[in-house]
Chain A
Amino acid sequence: KAGVTQTPRYLIKTRGQQVTLSCSPISGHRSVSWYQQTPGQGLQFLFEYFSETQRNKGNFPGRFSGRQFSNSRSEMNVSTLELGDSALYLCASSDLKANTEAFFGQGTRLTVV
């Protein structure tokens, strides 16, 4: 089985712009979660989608949003980018029937200048 695929791997954006990141989960996995990783704040949960519905949300401003499509692929969007949004964004997929493991992609490195 192919793993979790995140695109693009690297991205450079200017303050004020918006960005969309993509995540394709492992085939058959219906839960997709997003995390932000920064040196200062570490790994923080953004949100989780299951069957096209947001099930859980972390403590991030409304500029951070996401969605999930019928094929379980997910996108996250950040609007009005700030310098502090520079981070590694990680996506994880889970098979909730098996319940017990999250598989991570390699991440998208976003740099805001």
Chain B
Amino acid sequence: AQSVTQLGSHVSVSEGALVLLRCNYSSSVPPYLFWYVQYPNQGLQLLLKYTTGATLVKGINGFEAEFKKSETSFHLTKPSAHMSDAAEYFCAVSEGGTASKLTFGTGTRLQVTL
């Protein structure tokens, strides 16, 4: 069975600072990995995904993540935080080569301060 662990339920950074949100996964087969963002009372928006190929994945809004198989990690980073990045972020894994059944982490709420 697959699982996802997100370290840190709340992360606070200053505007302009580096954002680092941690995600570790467990999967018995090569995983597909995703980061989603959720704003209050909204659905989930895909930031980026890893399926195969290049391990450094670039997404929307300046976010990127690196798939490290040896560390079973898929941490999300952004060089410079913006106030509009304040939201909840979810890491997810799927097996079987589709995105139709996702296992999510518990989420990390990102706060951005002036």
Stretch at the interface among A13-21, A41-49, A64-72, A75-83: A41-49
**Which residues of chain B from 15 to 48 have any CB-CB distance to chain A below 8 Å in the complex?**
32, 34, 36, 41-46
Report the count of interface residues on A (CB-CB < 8 A).
27
Q: Which of B76-114 contact A (CB under 8 A)?
A: 90, 92, 97-107
Does A7 sit at the interface, judged by CB under 8 A?
Answer: no
With A42-B104, A42-B106, A100-B49 already in contact, the answer to whether A90 and B99 are too (CB < 8 A) is no
In the complex, the chain B residue whose C-beta lies closest to that of A49 is B100
Chain B residues within an 8 Å CB radius of A50:
100
Complex partner residue of B99 from A94, A106, A107, CB under 8 angstroms: A94
A-B contact count (CB 8 A): 69
Tell yes or no: A31 within 8 A of B by CB.
yes
Closest to A43 in B: B104
Interface class of chain B by DSSP: loop
Instruction: Quote the shortest CB–CB distance from B82 to chain A (angstroms).
Output: 23
Taking CB atoms and an 8 Å cut-off, the chain A residues in 45-100 that contact chain B are 45, 48, 50, 55-56, 90, 92, 94, 96, 99-100
On whether A101 and B42 interact (CB within 8 A), knowing A31-B98, A45-B102, A55-B100, the answer reads no
Pairs of residues from A and B, 10 with the lowest C-beta to C-beta distance, nearest first: A104-B43, A43-B104, A102-B99, A104-B44, A106-B43, A31-B100, A94-B100, A56-B101, A42-B106, A48-B100
Interface size class of B (residues with CB under 8 A): 20 to 34
Interface of A is mostly: strand
Distance between Cα atoms of A90 and B105 in the complex (Å): 16
Chain A minimum-CB-distance residue to B52: A100
Q: Are A102 and B102 in contact (CB under 8 A)?
A: yes
B46 surroundings in chain A (CB, below 8 A): 101-103
Q: Is A105 a contact of B43 with CB atoms below 8 Å?
A: yes
Instruction: Collect the chain A residues with CB atoms within 8 Å of residue B36's CB.
Output: 104
Chain A, residue nearest B92 (CB)? A43
Task: Using CB atoms, name the residue of chain B closest to A55.
Answer: B100
